[in-house]
Structure 1
Amino acid sequence: MSFNLSTLLMTIITSIIVIVIAIAGTRRLTTGVPKGMQNVLEWLVDFVYGIIGSTIGLKKGANFIFLALTLIMFIFVGNMLGLPMNFITVHDEPFSIFGIDIVTQQMINESEIIENGHKVVDVAWWKSPTADANVTLAMSVSIIILSQIFSIKYLGFKGYVKHYFEPHFLFFPLHIIEDFSKTLTLGFRLYGNIFAGEVLIGVILLMGMAGIVPLAIWQGFSIFVGFIQAYVFTILSMVYISQKISH
């Protein structure tokens, strides 16, 4: 088993930033006119309430407010981290720290260049964690598993099983395929958009000074894409949960 340490690092950094934003927005709460980060966080909470209301319903969906809020904040912050900079370290050979192999086989296959008989490996230490399919697929698997758990909780085991045989028992394999396809599309949609955006930024950077204007335009568009993808992942997650807990 191998681990992508840059992905682990960026996932931790993303989580820390989300926690700091949450603390900054709630440390000086006021019932009057909100200011600063409280205003931003209240707007975000209202936005998430709208998502819950349009998918699950506020009465039944109250328990999912914090799940949706965590999803949209984590994904948006993660999407933004790869935009302003990209730290790449070049090594002549795969290396290790404390006996841990830093360059996984996947990274070698994707980034190795043969120069003068030596293997040159580019290691990207700063990137969006959501530009790694392992992260986005793990998130989508978690959502699908949660939807199964909540289905049993809200409908009971009998109602949960009955769902898979509606409207006819012949639909059982289709429901299984549907759960599998939801997992793939939910994860790969987010990964594909963010990864492709970072690749294009790398291509534009190769243009040198001629790429300044295209880079500024694309980064502005990438902020929009980053928010849209966070919104899509969150609202689809709530839709999938809603489908599982509805009679």
Structure 2
Amino acid sequence: MPVPQSRGLISRSLLRENAYQAIRDAIVDGTFAPGERLNDSDLVEWLGVSRTPVREALARLERAGLVQTKPGRYTMVSPLDARAVRAAQSVTSAMHELAVREALPNLSAAELDAMRGANARFADALRRNDADAAIAADDDFHGVPVAACANPAIWNVLEQFTPVLRRLERRRFSSLSGRGSVAQHDRIIALCEAGDVEGAVAATRANWQTLVPLLDIPLPGGDELGGGPAGIASPH
């Protein structure tokens, strides 16, 4: 019988995605520190895959601004860069506002309940000072309208730029400074439930533009996230 042309594509796709997610998460959570060299052979051994998915993952991470490469010389974790974080913040905030605007007219009771559940997990994680769980719950909360709006362009932009912000977000959610976001999330839910599109969009914008203590954390090279006339807002 003829062999289907698509044979093996699913497994290769999963290998690429798994390699990408594993390296991305290790950069975001600080396992791979800013400026650290990434060796292909070490990553291959760690992930248990061939060089191809590792190299494809690194190329994708470079496009996202999480790694830097010098062909034939090295690949390293990108240093924390204030300009890159400001740019990512601006784009990410706009995408979440658009997601709420597009999703709200058709947001179901089940989806509102999912937002409430995510916010409850978020509050619990903050009480336990569990930054990883707080980030996961925060992603789940904001991910509801992103999924509900069914706009793949929004998802693609967020997939690229959110990890840049999450490298700093862990510091914030390890402290008390993130706890005001629980009430902000509740307000977003209430406005969505009331069908107030403009109010919900404004509340989402406020949530993503709240200045937090991490803005004054010095970055390698002497720059600071709090520097400049406008500073940068952290997502939460």
Alignment TM-score, normalising by the size of structure 1: 0.25
Greater C-alpha radius of gyration: 1
Bigger RCO of structures 1 and 2 (CA < 8 A, at least 6 apart): 1
